[in-house]
């Protein structure tokens, strides 16, 4: 009888707590979004599964000695996984559209206003009982507006590790929701005539420009913002491997096998932070709300900047491409192209929108570096 | 309450510094692209850029000034025709 009792006590059924069940359901919700709705499945699937594993009673996945504990501390806490992913993203990024039309860097800069404006929102939420965000927490939440998953995870792991789970869920969910969040904002801030504007064809970009570009960006970051060099440095390394043309094997590994392997572990590591005590609170609701605000402000400021540039530029600029400045590569550029096509079926904005889109990646990495330098110290 | 005010001031300062810095950084990058990269592009044009910007140049190398096909191309075609005819003859 005693052994039967011991066996019963070692079952999951005897040890379940309500919070764990709820978090397992949250994990199942993430799996549903990934599998049925195709929302950023590459990350949400391992993340959702990680959330289920970490909440299994008795198994101790996230306690010292557990698999997820080591994955988290080896790769997420140290910042290694998001940086390896950033190298892969660099190896997948073609800066041609940006080099051909460098003005679009200003759109990538303007869209970062979403990040900095959200800082206010996060601090203002301290008026709500049960929420207490420090400036570090606020900065980690605000970076969701950068619409860049690895950057958000990297900054959150440095500034507010206890909020990492909620921040990562918000960042990736909103990135998946770009096609739903952005179009109404883009249409609200532009006229039909503006959406019809056709842009001049981009000039061809030479190989030497593409090779020197990442080196130049890295040099500038070293001089002006060393705190951003982990992100920008890995990004530039990936991009140089791609553009140099001499290490195709490395470039291919960085943008395929390596980024895929790391994504599995990053997803699991972030999922391990989805425990009941860290996720089931008012702060998570606040983070989800602020993430949406950050995205919307970023989109609007990118569009408004493009409108302003169109007024003063000799060459016409379609304000829709400003929305791509939030990064979320290449989804935001595709959205700009789609909304443009709705207004004018002969207007293909995809290549033009890729400029601000990759500028947004650089912009959010720079913004993360600024937040690290000013708040992280 | 004072603490909140203090935090708002800090957030405001951070926003201002952050936006100015992001614009300055990416602004310098624009200057870099427009000067250094643009000069490099002119000095070292690559094989992909040449035909797309000056399409006539490539065809010139394969034909003579008056528009005739260059002797090298004629030789290659004649060689191929000769070989085909020989093979064709053997088959019969």
Q: Is A113's Cβ below 8 Å from some Cβ in B? A: yes
Would you list the domain boundaries of chain B? Answer: 1-44, 54-92
Among residues A153, A106, A103, the alpha carbon closest in space to that of A368 is found at A153
Interatomic CA distance for residues A298 and A323, integer angstroms: 8
Contact: B30, A102; criterion CB under 8 Å: yes
Q: What is the mean pLDDT of residues A232-261?
A: 97
For B10-62, what is each residue's pLDDT tens digit? 999 999 999 999 999 999 999 999 999 999 999 988 764 444 444 454 444 45
Q: What is the pLDDT of residue A245?
A: 95
pLDDT of residue B1: 60
Site from A106, A114, A116 to mutate, B interface, most B CB atoms within 10 angstroms: A116
* Optimal mutation site among B5, B6, B10, B29, interface A, most CBs of chain A within 10 A: B29
The whole-number average pLDDT for the span A159-166 is 93
DSSP state of A148: -
Mean pLDDT of A231-245: 97
% of chain A residues with pLDDT over 70: 100
Q: Name all contacts of B74-81 with Cβ < 8 Å and 24+ positions apart.
A: none
Which pLDDT does position B82 carry in this prediction? 82
Element (H, E) at A309: helix A282-312
- Express each pLDDT in A76-128 by its tens digit: 999 999 999 999 999 999 999 999 999 999 999 999 999 999 999 999 999 99
What's the DSSP call for residue A237? H
Task: Work out the percent of chain A whose per-residue pLDDT is above 90.
Answer: 88
Judge contact between A202 and B52, C-beta under 8 A: no
| Distance (Å, whole) CA A360 – CA A321 | 11
A105 — contact with chain B (CB < 8 Å)?
yes
Q: Does B72 touch chain A (CB under 8 A)?
A: no
- Chain B's closest residue to A120, CA to CA, is B11
Contact A276, A23 (CB under 8 A): yes
Band of the pLDDT at A377, cuts 50, 70, 90? confident
CA atoms within 13 A on the CB side of A165: 28
Q: Are A130 and A281 in contact (CB under 8 A)?
A: yes
C-alpha distance from residue A57 to each of A27, A67, B13 (Å): 15, 14, 46
Say if residues A75 and A269 touch (Cβ distance below 8 Å).
yes
Q: Which residues of B touch A112 (CB under 8 A)?
A: 18-19, 22
Give the orientation angle of helix A257-271 with respect to helix A41-54, to 10 degrees.
40
What is residue B58's predicted lDDT score, i.e. its pLDDT?
46
**Eight-class DSSP state of A202:** P
Which pLDDT band holds residue A277 (cuts at 50, 70, 90)? Answer: confident
Q: Which residues does chain A have within 8 Å of residue B52's beta carbon, measured at their own beta carbons? A: 204
Residue B63 bridge partners (DSSP): B69
* A290 touching chain B per CB within 8 A: no
- Where does the pLDDT of residue B8 fall: very low under 50, low under 70, confident under 90, or very high at 90 and above? very high
pLDDT in tens, A304-327: 999 999 999 999 999 999 999 998
Residue B67 C-alpha, separation from nearest chain A C-alpha, in angstroms:
28
A95 lies within 8 A of chain B by CB: no
Over residues A47-53, the mean pLDDT reads 96
The tens digit of pLDDT for each residue in A131-161 reads: 999 999 999 999 999 999 999 999 999 999 9
Q: Could you tell me which chain B residue has the CA closest to the CA of A359?
A: B26
Q: How far apart are CA A72 and CA A266, in angstroms?
A: 8
What band does B68 get if pLDDT is binned at 50, 70 and 90? low
Residues in chain B: 92
Q: Is A139 exposed, middle or buried (0-12, 13-18, 19+ CB in 10 A)?
A: buried
Answer yes or no: are the C-beta atoms of A366 and A228 closer than 8 Å: yes
Per-residue pLDDT, B60: 46
- pLDDT computed for residue A140 by the predictor: 96
In chain B, the percentage of residues whose pLDDT exceeds 90 is 36
Token pair of B30 as six digits? 């624009």
Please state whether the peptide bond connecting residue A293 to the residue before it is cis, i.e. omega within 30 degrees of 0.
no
Judged by a CB distance cut-off of 8 A, whether residue B18 touches chain A is yes
pLDDT (0 to 100) of residue B89: 60
The complex's ipTM works out to: 0.92
Which two tokens mark A156?
């959150």
Residue B69: strand pairing partners: B63
A-chain residues within 8 Å CB-CB of B40? 206, 208-209, 212
Question: How are the residues of chain A apportioned to helix, strand and coil, as percentages rounded to the nearest 5?
Answer: 75, 0, 25
Q: Which member of B11, B26, B29 has the closest CB to residue A120?
A: B11
Per-residue pLDDT tens for A171-198? 988 888 899 999 999 999 999 999 999 9
Burial A303-340 (b: 16+ CB within 10 A, else e): bbbbbebbeeeeeebbbbbbbbbbbbbbbbbbbbbebb
What band does A349 get if pLDDT is binned at 50, 70 and 90? very high
């Amino acid at each position: 009888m005693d052994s039967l009792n011991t066996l019963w006590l070692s079952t999951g059924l005897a040890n379940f707590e309500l919070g764990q069940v709820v978090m397992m359901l949250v994990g199942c919700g993430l799996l549903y979004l990934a599998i049925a709705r195709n929302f950023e499945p590459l990350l949400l699937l391992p993340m959702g599964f990680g959330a289920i594993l970490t909440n299994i009673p008795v198994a101790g996945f996230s306690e010292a000695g557990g698999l997820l504990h080591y994955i988290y501390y080896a790769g997420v806490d140290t910042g290694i996984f998001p940086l390896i992913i950033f190298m892969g993203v660099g190896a997948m990024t073609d800066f041609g559209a940006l080099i051909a039309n460098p003005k679009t860097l200003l759109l990538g800069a303007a869209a970062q206003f979403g990040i900095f404006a959200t800082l206010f929102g996060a601090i203002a939420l301290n008026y709500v009982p049960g929420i207490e965000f420090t400036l570090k927490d606020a900065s980690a939440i605000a970076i969701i507006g950068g619409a860049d998953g690895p950057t958000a995870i990297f900054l959150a792991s440095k500034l507010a590790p206890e909020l990492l789970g909620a921040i990562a869920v918000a960042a990736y969910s909103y990135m998946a929701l770009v096609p739903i969040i952005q179009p109404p904002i883009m249409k609200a801030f532009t006229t039909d005539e503006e959406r019809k504007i056709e842009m001049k064809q981009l000039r061809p970009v030479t190989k030497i420009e593409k090779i020197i570009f990442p080196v130049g960006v890295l040099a500038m970051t070293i001089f002006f913002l060393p705190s951003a060099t982990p992100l920008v440095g890995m990004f530039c390394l990936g991009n140089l491997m791609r553009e140099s043309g001499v290490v195709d094997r490395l470039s291919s590994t960085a943008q395929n096998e390596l980024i895929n392997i790391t994504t599995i572990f990053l997803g699991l590591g972030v999922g391990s932070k989805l425990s009941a005590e860290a996720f089931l609170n008012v702060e998570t609701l606040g983070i989800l709300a602020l993430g949406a605000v950050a995205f919307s402000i970023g989109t609007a400021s990118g569009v408004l900047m493009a409108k302003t540039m169109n007024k003063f530029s000799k060459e016409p600029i379609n304000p829709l491409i400003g929305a791509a400045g939030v990064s979320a590569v290449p989804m935001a550029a595709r959205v700009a192209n789609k909304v443009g096509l709705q207004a004018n079926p002969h207007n293909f904005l995809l290549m033009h929108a890729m400029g601000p889109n990759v500028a947004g990646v650089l912009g959010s990495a720079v913004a993360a570096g600024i937040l690290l330098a000013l708040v992280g110290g | 309450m004072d603490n909140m005010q203090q935090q708002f001031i800090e957030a405001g300062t951070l926003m201002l510094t952050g936006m100015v810095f992001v614009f300055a950084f990416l602004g310098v990058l624009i200057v870099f692209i427009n000067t250094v990269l643009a000069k490099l592009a002119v000095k070292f044009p690559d094989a992909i850029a040449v035909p797309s910007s000056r399409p006539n140049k490539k065809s010139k190398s394969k034909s003579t000034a008056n528009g005739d096909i260059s002797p090298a191309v004629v030789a290659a075609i004649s060689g191929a025709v000769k070989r085909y005819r020989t093979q064709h003859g053997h088959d019969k």
